[in-house]
Amino acid sequence: MCGLALSGMVAGTALPDPAGAGTERAAAVRGPDCPPGTTARLAEPGSDTVTDSGELTPEQAARYNDRLREALRSLRSHEIAPPGTVPVVVHVISATDGRGHVSDARIRDQIDVLNTAYSGGYDAAGADTGFRFTLSEVTRSENDAWFSDFNGHRDRIRSELHRGGADTLNIYTADLGTGLLGYSSFPQDHAAAPDQDGVVLAHDTLPGGGRERFGLGHTGTHEVGHWLGLFHTFQNGCTTPGDYVGDTPYEREAAAGCPQGRDSCPHRGGRDPVTNFMDYSDDDCMTHFTEGQARRMAEHWAAFRSPHRP
Ligand code: ARG
Ligand code: ZN
Ligand code: CA
């Protein structure tokens, strides 16, 4: 079995002091018998953002959903329009000895992966979400402390480097340790901490980085899904409302590897969505978003990120 143990450390690095009040900030690190890569997850500090930190509690997910519903009340349905193109700024943090260097070519490949994934290009049944991504800027910081202990310097790094408004996707790459692939803020968090908004990726998860089982760039696909408001497909397990998406079957827990055909909620319809980008399967197992997820991302965009929102 692959159990969860609570720890204040990620890959030997102490977590920063909590910035706000309330949520748990310990890293959840799975035991040594777990497959690498699906292991540690880290709490995002500030407000309620705990993406990939042992998951959101049902209450936290409900609060995020309440805020979505509330924001949508002031929008007309025609305003939930296809979102169009998202400008992307990539911030590469690397060591002075060259570790963590991500070439411009690999960055372009990551953007291509996002565009293929979000247009449904990895699966004939995949939704075209309407989102497209275009690289607008790359910043490069050579800093050993920032590279090897991103999470210990996270708030400072992000407030120094962050660019643009709610509609700009900021992606940071660094060494996140052995167990952590990435994490993200949610759209609802932007207003309270605009310069902390964005996605953090282990540098070797970008295409060509050689991260075992997670080297195709779908950590980026997955984290951008959070950045656009999606929960994990296993949010709330077999219990209503699950991931708040109607066309993703319920799932008791995260998938590892590629357990096709698994049915962990036998009393609920459908097999587990292990090939969905919002599960924890290996990169070569993940193929699609659903129409319901596309709709939910468009809602979050209209409510929290669109430059045209009222
Ligand atoms: N946030 C997840 C983790 O750190 C990322 C899962 C991404 N999955 C993938 N196949 N790339 O564990
Ligand atoms: Zn996640
Ligand atoms: Ca669902």
Q: Atom 9 (ligand 1): residue with closest C-alpha?
A: 219
Q: Is 211 in the pocket of ligand 1 (CB under 6 A)?
A: no
Residue 289 has pLDDT above 50, yes or no: yes
Residue 135 has pLDDT above 60, yes or no: yes
Tens of pLDDT along 252-279?
999 999 999 999 999 999 999 999 999 9
CA–CA dist 287, 284 (Å, integer) = 8
Mean pLDDT rounded to a whole number for the chain: 85
Q: Are strands 9-10 and 169-174 parallel, antiparallel or unpaired?
A: unpaired
Q: What is the pLDDT of residue 10?
A: 26
What is the secondary structure of the chain as a DSSP string? ---EEEESEETTEEPPPP-SSSS--PEEEE-TTSPTTSS-B-PPPSTT--TTSS---HHHHHHHHHHHHHHHHTS-GGGS---EEEEEEEEEEE-TTSTT---HHHHHHHHHHHHHHHTTTT-TT----SEEEEEEEEEEEE-HHHHHTTTTSHHHHHHHH--S-TTSEEEEEE---SS--EEE--GGGTTT-GGG-SEEEEGGGSTTS--TT--SSHHHHHHHHHHTTPPPTTTTTTSTTTTS-TTS---SS---S--TT--S-TTSSS---TTBTTS---GGG--B--HHHHHHHHHHIIIII-TT--
Q: What is the pLDDT of residue 187?
A: 98
Asked if 223 is an active-site residue, the reply is yes
Question: How would residue 288 be classed by pLDDT, with cut points 50, 70 and 90?
Answer: very high
Q: What is the pLDDT of residue 310?
A: 67
Q: What is the pLDDT of residue 85?
A: 93
CA–CA dist 254, 273 (Å, integer) = 10
Query: If you measure from the C-alpha of residue 156 to the centroid of ligand 2, how many angstroms do you get, rounded to a whole number?
Result: 23
Q: Which atom of ligand 1 is nearest to the CA of 42?
A: 4
Tens of pLDDT along 167-188?
999 999 999 999 999 999 999 9
Question: pLDDT over 70 for what percent of the chain?
Answer: 82
Amino acid sitting at position 304 = F
Q: What is the pLDDT of residue 307?
A: 85
Q: Which residue shows structure tokens 């007309």?
A: 76
* C-alpha torsion angle, residues 207, 209, 215, 218 (rounded to 10): -50
Tens of pLDDT along 26-82?
223 333 333 333 333 444 444 344 444 558 999 999 999 999 999 999 887 777 876
CA–CA dist 179, 22 (Å, integer) = 25
Question: How would residue 153 be classed by pLDDT, with cut points 50, 70 and 90?
Answer: very high
**Poorest-confidence range of 22-36, 108-122, 205-219?**
22-36
More confident residue, 9 or 181: 181
Q: Is 282 in the pocket of ligand 1 (CB under 6 A)?
A: yes
Q: What is the pLDDT of residue 250?
A: 98
Query: What's the length of the chain?
Result: 310
**115 HSE (CA, 13 A, CB side):** 15
Catalytic residue among 44, 223, 251, 299: 223
Q: Atom 6 (ligand 1): residue with closest C-alpha?
A: 280
Q: Which atom of ligand 1 is nearest to the CA of 205?
A: 11
Tens of pLDDT along 12-28?
222 222 232 222 222 23
- Terminus-to-terminus CA distance in the chain, angstroms? 49
Which CATH number does 58-232+274-305 carry? 3.40.390.10
Q: Is 222 in the pocket of ligand 1 (CB under 6 A)?
A: yes
Q: Is 232 in the pocket of ligand 1 (CB under 6 A)?
A: no
Ordered by start, the domain boundaries in the chain are: 58-232+274-305
Q: Which atom of ligand 1 is nearest to the CA of 41?
A: 4
CA–CA dist 219, 125 (Å, integer) = 21
User: Which has the closest alpha carbon to 52: 42, 60, 62?
Assistant: 42
